[in-house]
Amino acid sequence: MKMMSLLWTKSLLFLLPIPCLCSSQPSPPLLRFSAFLDHSNMVFMRWDHDEEEMMTFELQVRTVGWVAFGFSPHGELPGSDIVIGGVFPNGSIYFSDWHAVDEENLKEDKSQDYQLLSLTEDETFTTMRFKRYFQTCDPNDLDITGDTTRLISAFGTNDTVQFSKGQRFLKSLFLMRVTSPTELNEPQIFFTYDLKLNDFPIPVDETTYACTFIPLPILKQKHHIYKFEPIITTHQNRLMAHHILVYACGNGSVLPTGISDCYGADPDFALCSQVVVGWAVGGGSYQFPNEAAISIGTPMDPQYIRLEIHYSNFDLIPGLIDNSGIRLYCTPDLRPYDIGVLQTGVFTFPVHFIPPGADSYKSYGLCKSSQFNEMNGTPVPDLKVFGFLLHTHLAGRGVKVVQYRNGEQVRIICEDNTYDFSLQETRDMKEVITIEVGDEILVECDFQTLDRTEITFGGPSTLNEMCLAFLFYYPRNNISSCMGYPDIQQIAHALGQEASDAMEGMIAMNYVEWNNETIKTAEKAAKEADQIVMIKTIDVSVLCLYLAEWLGDGETRSSLEFETKEKEEPGDYRPVSLTSIPGKLLEQ
Ligand SMILES: *[C@@H]1O[C@H](CO)[C@@H](O)[C@H](O)[C@H]1NC(C)=O
Ligand SMILES: *[C@@H]1O[C@H](CO)[C@@H](O)[C@H](O)[C@H]1NC(C)=O
Ligand SMILES: *[C@@H]1O[C@H](CO)[C@@H](O)[C@H](O)[C@H]1NC(C)=O
Ligand SMILES: *[C@@H]1O[C@H](CO)[C@@H](O)[C@H](O)[C@H]1NC(C)=O
Ligand SMILES: *[C@@H]1O[C@H](CO)[C@@H](O)[C@H](O)[C@H]1NC(C)=O
């Protein structure tokens, strides 16, 4: 604090001339994106970016005192890059680029990399518009990237800047948005349809996955679902619904009724695996690009959905009644293409493990698409991928999805190196990319378990882990998921453990003495091990064992071999049972 005030009076005060807003000047460009940065709607931000890699921000804060805005490395104050400005009572303005050296003190940057565009104040608001490049050359500034950013905002009630005494907020946001709501077509004719729970009593448990099956509207002709909007019940200003997933189901005849634990005693409540929309805390509504939408109302289309609401009731509050869900927007005004969703990543079950005490541990799941035509029934057209949703649980720090063709890396399809569990949302790709049959898709997830003393296993609870990437594409095909996992026996052997089958391999992980060396050995073995690839269609499942040999950094691999295959009867929407995996991975 002292240091701050000291510096403040000594060096600072860039007294800038108030920019001329004369009528002859063009009005400032419209900023396409906006969000509140706090819970009580005091700090409103608009932003936009351009071809020159310049990001423009406008902060409108409910105060006549100082306002601050900046970027934090992972949510903490030390190392944050902060800009502070305001208007003195006499009309002079101040604006300057700072960085936080520790929890208490800010220091002014030698290199001033934020350019002030305007700074005004009325009785209620201070409005500060400024811009900066994604990358500056100042080590005290943080780069603006395509990852999730942690934004810090703060303000005080007067113009004596005391950063640590102001109100301060932290919010995760994805800044590199591409499409603004105004660029999307709203159809002339539409109706809404709510998929939600009715007066659901939230269990007094830390984690609940509530699932129910809801019929989609019955329609005489094909319609398109073009937009989703969250319907969230708040409980004394708290959000209990943590995330919501909507899965498409075929025919309702095999589905259970009522509401139950998604991953509990009745496995039928986990039926249907194709995610069509995801919402998570911090997310808003999502609308598909103009050329495509989800088809309903034809015999090929889902008739039911599974609504999965993940509640976090960490304070074990009793008696909460919830009516959360998702609102669909449907139109008979059809777009050129139907949308499909491909689930890729690490198959979610306990063969996926993460050692304790790891600063960084990477997991790999491979999708090999060479069997797609056979499984689909007809040749699969190229997948035009326009959006993605990344999903891990609490230990996840990053997710990367990489595409390979003929053993060569084609591109990183999408990534988030500063993943935030509380911000899972569908994001648009910068440009539509193409996946061809035969391509491989590798999903790499980075986990941190420094706070854990036990192994974390793959599984549905928030205390377990997942490593998933949902790719949104058109035109749709029948494949719903394509996921892999490394052969755990090979990992066990690399760690000097005996394991004659996968079950033993899994158990063997408990006997490993985990330190940074064994963690690295396990990670390397998991990366280089054969992958068992599992492909599911909307109504059939096939299990394929691929022998993957990864060379170097995973950039090239020998061709993968197709080994075994099992089919379920068409019409059975049950996910492939885990016991059908060769090697008896799970004895039930
Ligand atoms: C306005 O007030 C500030 C802070 O009290 C002072 O530093 C500045 O010199 C004043 N400006 C003018 C033009 O009086
Ligand atoms: C400005 O606000 C701070 C915090 O509310 C307060 O401690 C300080 O006395 C105020 N300064 C002036 C000059 O009013
Ligand atoms: C659902 O599928 C079953 C078997 O494929 C069929 O007998 C039944 O008529 C279907 N029900 C509906 C509502 O389409
Ligand atoms: C899905 O599978 C059915 C039956 O195998 C096939 O007739 C249909 O063309 C497939 N759909 C797509 C979009 O490929
Ligand atoms: C690995 O090293 C980090 C420091 O880099 C340490 O915090 C952590 O406890 C170590 N993990 C284990 C399992 O020893």
Interval between CA 359 and ligand 5 midpoint (Å): 7
What's the CA gap between 437 and 381, in Å, rounded? 8
Q: Which ligand gives the minimal distance to the CA of 539? A: 4
Check whether 104 has a pLDDT greater than 80. Answer: yes
Select which of 99, 242, 391, 393 is catalytic. Answer: 391
Pick the residue whose CA is nearest to atom 3 on ligand 5: 359
pLDDT at 9: 36
**Range 352-363 average pLDDT:** 97
Our answer on whether the CB atom of 478 is closer than 6 Å to any ligand 4 atom is: yes
- Percent of the chain with pLDDT strictly greater than 70: 86
Give Cα 147 distance to the centre of its chain: 10
**Range 336-343 average pLDDT:** 94
**Range 311-335 average pLDDT:** 94
Q: What are phi and psi of 374, to 5 degrees?
A: -60, -40
Pocket-testing residue among 361, 450, 453, 495, ligand 5, by greatest number of atoms within 8 A of Cβ? 450
- Are 116 and 221 part of one and the same domain? no
- Are 169 and 195 part of one and the same domain? no
Q: H or E element: which one contains 374?
A: helix 372-376
Task: List the Cα angle 338/344/349 in 5-degree steps.
Answer: 135
CATH code, domain carrying 57 = 2.60.40.1210
What's the CA gap between 72 and 566, in Å, rounded? 49
Q: Count CA atoms within 13 Å of residue 4 on its CB side.
A: 20
Domain endpoint, select from 157, 177, 197: 177
Q: What is the DSSP letter of 111?
A: S
Tokens representing 30 are: 């419209």
**Per-residue pLDDT tens digits for 183-236:** 898 999 999 999 999 999 999 998 899 999 999 999 999 999 999 999 998 887
- Are 64 and 12 part of one and the same domain? yes
- Percent of the chain with pLDDT strictly greater than 90: 67
- Are 213 and 343 part of one and the same domain? yes
Q: What are phi and psi of 159, to 5 degrees?
A: -95, 15
Pocket-testing residue among 360, 447, 516, 518, ligand 5, by greatest number of atoms within 8 A of Cβ? 516
CA distances from 295 to 190, 248, 321 (A): 14, 11, 33
Select which of 94, 114, 209, 546 is catalytic. Answer: 209
- Are 407 and 454 part of one and the same domain? yes
User: Measuring from each residue's beta carbon to the nearest atom of ligand 1, which residues come in under 6 Å?
Assistant: 88, 90, 92
User: Measuring from each residue's beta carbon to the nearest atom of ligand 3, which residues come in under 6 Å?
Assistant: 251-253, 571
Rg (CA), the chain: 26
**How many structural domains are present in the chain?**
2
CATH code, domain carrying 492 = 2.60.120.230
Helix (H, G, I), strand (E, B) or coil at 369: helix
CB 583 within 8 A of CB 506: no
pLDDT at 320: 94
State the chain's mean pLDDT as an integer: 85
**Range 534-545 average pLDDT:** 63
- Are 151 and 210 part of one and the same domain? no
pLDDT at 458: 92
Secondary structure (DSSP) of 175-223? ------GGGSPPPSS-EEEEEE-SSEE--SSSEEEEEEEEEPPP-SS-E
- The reply to whether 352 belongs to the active site is no
Closest CA to 143 of 207, 73, 244: 73
Pick the residue whose CA is nearest to atom 9 on ligand 3: 253
- The reply to whether 49 belongs to the active site is no
How does residue 584 score in pLDDT terms, banded at 50, 70 and 90? very low
- Are 84 and 134 part of one and the same domain? yes
Q: Is 15 exposed, middle or buried (0-12, 13-18, 19+ CB in 10 A)?
A: exposed
Domain endpoint, select from 177, 212, 241: 177
Pocket-testing residue among 92, 93, 94, 159, ligand 1, by greatest number of atoms within 8 A of Cβ? 92
HEC profile of 136-182: CCCCCCCCCCCCEEEEEEEECCCCCCCHHHCEEEEEEEECCCCCCHH
How crowded is residue 406: how many other Cβ atoms within 10 Å of its Cβ? 10
Q: Any idea which residue has 């050329």 for tokens?
A: 291
- Strand pairing category for 148-155 and 67-72: antiparallel
Structural domain including 163 reads 3-177
How does residue 299 score in pLDDT terms, banded at 50, 70 and 90? confident
CB 114 within 8 A of CB 82: no
Interval between CA 377 and ligand 4 midpoint (Å): 5
pLDDT at 539: 57
What's the CA gap between 15 and 141, in Å, rounded? 22
Q: Count CA atoms within 13 Å of residue 288 on its CB side.
A: 32
- Are 83 and 216 part of one and the same domain? no
How does residue 311 score in pLDDT terms, banded at 50, 70 and 90? very high
In sequence order, what are the residues at sequence separation of 6 or more whose Cβ sits closer than 8 angstroms to the Cβ of residue 26?
Answer: none
Q: Count CA atoms within 13 Å of residue 181 on its CB side.
A: 9
How crowded is residue 516: how many other Cβ atoms within 10 Å of its Cβ? 11
pLDDT at 24: 52
How does residue 415 score in pLDDT terms, banded at 50, 70 and 90? very high
Q: Is 533 exposed, middle or buried (0-12, 13-18, 19+ CB in 10 A)?
A: buried
- Are 206 and 290 part of one and the same domain? yes
Secondary structure (DSSP) of 393-439? -TTEEEEEEEEEETTEEEEEEEEETT--TT----EEEEEEEEE-TT-
Closest CA to 347 of 476, 244, 488, 245: 488
- Are 321 and 438 part of one and the same domain? yes
Q: Please report, as a single letter, which amino acid is at residue 85.
A: G
Closest CA to 367 of 394, 393, 353, 385: 385
pLDDT at 348: 87
pLDDT at 464: 87
**Per-residue pLDDT tens digits for 37-68:** 987 889 999 999 999 999 999 999 999 999 99
Looking at 467-552, list the stretches that DSSP marks H as alpha helix, in order from N- to C-terminal side.
488-494, 502-508, 516-528
CA distances from 401 to 129, 388, 566 (A): 35, 10, 27
Domain endpoint, select from 128, 160, 177: 177
E-assigned strand segments in 101-140: 106-108, 115-121, 126-133
Check whether 280 has a pLDDT greater than 90. Answer: no
Tokens representing 145 are: 């990237």
- Are 260 and 388 part of one and the same domain? yes
What's the CA gap between 433 and 471, in Å, rounded? 11
**Per-residue pLDDT tens digits for 543-556:** 444 443 332 333 33
CB 349 within 8 A of CB 585: yes
- Are 189 and 173 part of one and the same domain? no
Our answer on whether the CB atom of 158 is closer than 6 Å to any ligand 2 atom is: yes
